Amino acid sequence: MKRMIAIAVSALFAGCTVGPDFQRPDAPKETRYAAPAANHANDTSAQQIVLGKRLNQAWWKLFQSDAIDKVVKQALAHNRTIAAAGYTLAQEQELAAAQSGAVDPQVDITAGVGREKYGAEFLGTSPKPPPFTYYAVGPTISYTLDYTGGVARSIEQQNALVDYQREQLNAAYLAVTGNAVMESFRIASLRAQIAAVEAMLDQDRNNQRLVHEAFAAGSVSRLDIVSAESQYASDATLLPPLRQKLSVARHALAIILGQAPADAELPLFDLEQLTLPMRLPVAVPSELAHRRPDILAAEAQLHAATAAIGVATANLYPQINLSASFVQQSTETSQFFAANSNGWSLIGGLVAPIFDGGRLRAERTAAVDAMLASAARYQQTVLTAFGQVADSLQALEHDAEALDAQSRARQAAGDNLELTRKSYREGNAGVLQVLDAERHYQQASLGYVQARAQRYIDTAQLFLALGGSGPQEVASASADITKRGN
């Protein structure tokens, strides 16, 4: 006991704070996300990556679409996930404020009234007072001497949890904006695909008419009629799944906007009204670790886990509590505030762990293990983020290649269709050859639409993988969301 008291006293005068101090993880040393890609410097259709360039505006505005900008603003104003995250952040901030109050003396006022009778033997041979009523009122002051810094560590831990929840709000902001844009792109893509399939079906109906005319003229057989009808029936099967996907995308966007699907009024997104950003600002890996909400959230969790070690360490030391009270005691209310009614007490208490079956040291070891687990999760989060950016960069490169291939395929199919029709008019080709050429052209047109839409989707995925907008823009939006939550 003497040794433990000596440790406590020495710690008191040293003013120490037990446990490790949190050190922010070093920035990643990587200079790129993936292996060097093909050089498209001379390809005007390929998007150019500007490494180290910071995006300082709302990322979705790079697509220059008023409809998408309107949808995103509506989502930020009415999405329930963002509202919930804002309230949760406000809750954590209040809990941190409550925890911070533990460093100050706690002042209360107590009041009591009671009736009492002493037992016959309580006062021995002294005169026995009759039953009496007593009154008491006065302030009490209590203070926990935080000589180990355990209370300070608990406050630090709670503030780290506030930082974590703030990044969760930023993550919700990023997810909602991303989902709103992605669903808008899907709607535009599906509408374009449906238009392409409907054009294909119109061509199939025209082909059926031509085949029937040729059959009436005796130039084709009934087998040709069956082939044309079979092609129409086959192409018609493409339309219902696309319409179903369009309905799902529209319903998903309505929910993101905080509306019931039946009541939602959504813009008619059109691929032709979108602009593909050709110069893409991409943060370097070291900056990405300081801007992505999930990485910053993992960092805040690591901070909280580090502070928890200090709390567990402080529990190994004696706890010193000081209290004082001043009270007015009287059996008559008229005697309150009389000098002979004053009562007071000063109490200093020390509780030191002697034997707890190893519980406190096990709890501290568990806190260390939790910190190491948080560090591992942080590292994994960073690696996952790098992988997502690398995937997006590679996707954009391959999207450019796919669009180029689809463009050449459509051009070739169009040229073939034109020549086949000319040959048919000159009597050198049959109706089936024309039908086949038209089917290949329509399929190539559908593939071209899909390739175009995929570039928009993958570009948005890159911006999301990079953490979305610049830190100042996100901070401003988060502050507004938090204000609404409060």
Looking at 304, 334, 352, which one is the last position of a domain? 352
- In terms of domains, do 37 and 137 share one? no
Does one domain contain both 123 and 248? no
Per-residue model confidence as pLDDT tens digits over 43-59: 567 889 888 887 777 89
- Express the helix, strand and coil content of the chain in percent, nearest 5 each: 65, 10, 25
183 and 75, same structural domain?
Answer: yes
Residue carrying structure tokens 């930082």: 163
For 270-421, strand residue ranges (E) read 279-282, 319-330, 342-351
pLDDT at 16 over 90: no
* pLDDT tens digits, one per residue of 104-140: 899 999 888 888 888 877 777 777 788 888 888 889 9
On whether both 126 and 264 belong to a single domain, the answer is no
SS3 456: helix
Choosing from 352, 368, 401, the residue where a domain stops is 352
CA distance 265 to 477: 25
Same structural domain, 436 and 371: yes
Supply the pTM of this predicted model. 0.83
Band of residue 474 on the pLDDT scale cut at 50, 70, 90: very low
For residues 74 and 136, state if they share a domain: no
Lowest mean pLDDT of 115-129, 310-324, 389-403, name the range.
115-129
Q: How many domains does the chain have?
A: 2
Residue 470 has pLDDT above 70, yes or no: no
CA distances from 5 to 129, 148, 323 (A): 45, 13, 19
CB of 357 closer than 8 Å to CB of 312: no
Q: Is the pLDDT of residue 41 over 70?
A: no
Instruction: Grade residue 483 by pLDDT with cuts at 50, 70 and 90.
Output: low
Kindly state whether residues 249 and 121 are assigned to the same domain. no
Range of the domain at 123: 105-145+319-352
Mark whether 421 and 323 lie in a shared domain.
no
**Which of 346-350, 364-368, 435-439 is predicted least confidently?**
435-439
Position 163: which residue type? D
Based on the domain organization, do 378 and 416 belong to the same domain? yes
Task: Summarize pLDDT for 339-357 with one digit per residue, the tens.
Answer: 788 888 899 899 889 988 9
CA distance 75 to 80: 9
Which residue do the tokens 């900008």 mark? Answer: 69
| CATH code: domain of residue 70 | 1.20.1600.10
280 in the same domain as 133: no
- CATH classification at residue 126: 2.20.200.10
Could you give the 3-state DSSP secondary structure of residue 38? coil
Tell me: do 168 and 196 sit in the same domain. yes
Question: Are residue 188 and residue 51 in the same domain, yes or no?
Answer: yes
Domain end call among 298, 330, 352: 352
Evaluate the CA torsion angle 117, 121, 123, 126 in order and state its sign: positive
